Amino acid sequence: MKVPLLDLVAQYNSISHQIEPELLRVARTQMCILGKDVESLEISLANYLNVKNAITVSSGSDALLMSLMLLGIEPGDEVIMPTFSFFATAGSVARLGATPIFVDSELDTFNIDTKKIEDKITDKTKAIIPVHLYGQSVEMNEIMQIAKKHNLFVIEDAAQSLGTQYKDDKFVGSIGDLGCFSFYPSKNLGAFGDGGLITTNNDEYATKLKQMRNHGMNPKYYHKFIGGNFRLDAIQAAVLNVKLPYLDSWHKARQKNAELYNSLFAENGLIGEENSPMIIPKAIYQNDNLKNYHIYHQYTIQAADRDSLKDYLTQNEIGSDIYYPIPFHRQECFGYLNCNENEYPIANKFAERVISLPVYPELTEEQIRFVVKKITEFYHKK
C-alpha cells in the first residue's frame, strides 16, 4: 500500500467540478491581478476569522516581510521569535537588516516557550513573532501581556494555522497587531501556487498594506513610500473562494485522523510509558467550545531513532518529512549571532526526534492502520 505524505490530487478530484469553471471564467475575463475575485476572498476571510481587515498578498513570507516593513522594523532593531520554525520567520527579519532573537520551545506544543521571552528583551526589541506551529495556537494571553508591558508589536505567524482557535475561541491572526498566513498549496487552505494573507483590526494598517502591496502607489504612478509587488493573482483567489467553504470539514477530517493515530499508537504500546519510543502531539486547548483547537496542518510525533524510522517508512512507500531538522540558532546564515547552544535544549531535541506523518483529509482508515502497523513493526524489531 502506498501512503503519500500529502495527496493534493485527491482533494482536487473532489472539487474539480467547481474549480475548473472558475479557472476558465478568470481566463476568459483576463482580469488577472487583484479585482473582484480577490475582493470577494478578502471579505470572506475577514468574516471567517472574525477580523476587521483581511489583505491578500503574494505569499506567507511576503506577509511577514510587509508586516515588518509596515511597523518600521529596521537595522538595529531586534525581533523575538522561536528558534524552531520555518525559515521565513527569521529570514524576513534579517532581510530588513534587523536582528532575529531566538527563544526555545515548549516540550508539549512545539511552540515558543513564553516563559523565556522576557529574558531576551532589550532596549532594542521592537516586536515578537509567535509562530502557531503545526496548526495549534501559541499561549497568546501571555504573549500579549508581555508585549503590553514592554510596548512591543506582535505579529502572529499563522502560516500553518488558518482557522485555528485559541482557548478563548478567538482565531489566531486576530489577537496580535497583525496576523500572517500562507496559501502555499500544501497548507490546509492551499492555492494553485503562492499566496498569503495579512489580518489586522487596525484600519490604518490595512489601508497602508493595500497600498504597499502595489509598490506603495496611490494614485497611479505616485509613491509616498516604497512598497513592492506583493499582489495576489485573481486565479489564486478564484481557487481559494471555492475551497474556503470546505475548510472546516477538512479540519474535522484531520482531527479525526489524528485521533485515530493516537488511539492506535496507544493500543500498540508505543506511547504512554516512560520508556515509550514515541510522543504524540498534544492538543492543549481542546474543549467543548473549540471546534478548531488544533487543525493538524502536520501530525508531528517525536520518535526514537527517527532517521532510521523515516528510512523504514520510505522503504514501505509511506510518506513522511522532518519539519524541521535545523533550528535557526544552528543555521549557517545566522552564525554571526553567535548563539549559545545550551539555551535551546528543547528545540535541539526536536531537531533530532520530530517526524510528520500523513494526516490529510482524504486519508483512509486503512491507510492510517497501515502506517501504524509499519511503525509498530519497526520498533518491535529493535
Which three cell numbers, joined as nine digits, stand for 263? Answer: 488511539
Domains annotated for the chain, with CATH where assigned, are 8-103+110-245 (3.40.640.10), 247-381 (3.90.1150.10)
pTM over 0.85: yes
- What contacts 129, CB < 8 A, 6 or more positions away? 64, 79, 80, 81, 89, 93, 154, 155, 156, 157
203 contacts 53 by C-beta, under 8 angstroms: yes
Instruction: Please tell me the least confidently modeled range out of 170-179, 278-287, 349-358.
Output: 278-287
User: How far, in Å, CA of 91 to CA of 81, rounded?
Assistant: 11
User: How far, in Å, CA of 201 to CA of 162, rounded?
Assistant: 16
| Per-residue pLDDT at 273 | 84
| Per-residue pLDDT at 110 | 97
| Per-residue pLDDT at 296 | 98
**Which DSSP string do the residues of 120-137 spell out, in sequence order?**
G--TTEEEE--B-GGGB-
Other C-beta atoms within 10 Å of 2: how many? 10
Question: Per residue in 279-316, is it b (16+ CB within 10 Å) or e — as a string?
Answer: bbbebbbeeeebebbbbbbbbbbbbbebeebbebbeeb
User: How far, in Å, CA of 89 to CA of 45, rounded?
Assistant: 22
- Single out the residue of 331, 341, 374 nearest to residue 355, CA to CA: 374
112 contacts 82 by C-beta, under 8 angstroms: yes
| Per-residue pLDDT at 382 | 65
- DSSP annotation of 158 reads -
Instruction: Read off the pLDDT of residues 252-302 as tens digits, 9 standing for 90 and up.
Output: 999 999 999 999 999 999 998 888 999 999 999 888 788 999 999 999 999
Which three cell numbers, joined as nine digits, stand for 301? Answer: 510525533
pLDDT above 90: residue 251: yes
356 contacts 41 by C-beta, under 8 angstroms: no
User: How far, in Å, CA of 158 to CA of 171, rounded?
Assistant: 10
**What percent of the chain stands above pLDDT 90?**
94
- DSSP annotation of 268 reads T
**What percent of the chain stands above pLDDT 70?**
100
| Per-residue pLDDT at 272 | 87
**β pairing state of 178-182 and 53-57:** unpaired
- Single out the residue of 321, 320, 303, 314 nearest to residue 379, CA to CA: 303
Average pLDDT score over the chain: 96
Other C-beta atoms within 10 Å of 17: how many? 9
Cα distance from N-terminal residue to C-terminal residue, the chain = 23
| Per-residue pLDDT at 289 | 81
pLDDT above 80: residue 52: yes
Q: Is the dihedral of CA 117, 83, 132, 298 positive or negative?
A: negative
| Per-residue pLDDT at 274 | 80
The average pLDDT across 231-248 equals 97
User: How far, in Å, CA of 227 to CA of 380, rounded?
Assistant: 57
Other C-beta atoms within 10 Å of 95: how many? 14
The average pLDDT across 117-122 equals 98
pLDDT above 70: residue 78: yes
